Amino acid sequence: MNEQANPIVIRDSSPSDVAAIQRIYAHHVQNGTASFEEVAPSADTISTRRQSILDAGAPYIVAELNGEVHGFAYAGSFRPRSAYRHTVEDSIYVDPQATGNGIGSKLLSTLIERCTELGYRQMVAVIGGAQNAASITLHQRQGFVQAGYLKSTGFKFGAWVDTVFMQRALGAGDDSLPD
């Protein structure tokens, strides 16, 4: 898969993307530690979760290659208490058949742009597994730095899993007060 021959198109998700999103996410739930879920959620659950992101006014986007959805990303509330309202947490998942082609990078840069335009000031990545080199590299390349390390906070596939926190400022960050 070559980006120049096959341009990656990033667009807002629509309800008809839910099946592809569910399939991509289910793979990562069942085979990796990026998500601390252990049972893949149904399409109905994905649909409800997507709607709640959109209801909060945050972006939920997909990446298309040759007209097919191969990745998705969204910005969720970092934590629900109100003082966290200027901080978002990103989530990005790419079809295992399509990784390593720049899809994750394009999804993350678009999410950063969109969240900056919306006035959010910090973006946090909560990375499941210190060995998740793809996610750590993806975030480092886009200006995230490690902001915390929680040892053995997950237990999946019969082993303890560490959590890596990464963070970057959006827009003016904390150089000015939010609107």
Ligand X SMILES: CC(C)(COP(=O)(O)OP(=O)(O)OC[C@H]1O[C@@H](n2cnc3c(N)ncnc32)[C@H](O)[C@@H]1OP(=O)(O)O)[C@@H](O)C(=O)NCCC(=O)NCCS
| Binding-site ranges for ligand X (CB under 6 A) | 28, 32, 34, 90-94, 99-105, 125, 127, 132-135, 137-138, 141
> Given the complex with ligand X, which of 10 and 34 has the nearer CB atom?
34
Contact partners, residue 12, CB within 8 Å, separation at least 6: 59, 60, 61, 62
> Given the complex with ligand X, which of 137 and 153 has the nearer CB atom?
137
CA distance 129 to 18: 26
The helix (run of H) or strand (run of E) holding residue 24 is helix 18-31
Shortest spacing between CB 134 and ligand X, in angstroms = 3
Shortest spacing between CB 77 and ligand X, in angstroms = 15
For 78, the token pair is 């970092």
> Given the complex with ligand X, which of 45 and 141 has the nearer CB atom?
141
**Type of residue found at 59:** P
Shortest spacing between CB 71 and ligand X, in angstroms = 6
> CA nearest 31: which of 117, 95, 100, 102?
95
Residue nearest to ligand X (CB): 104
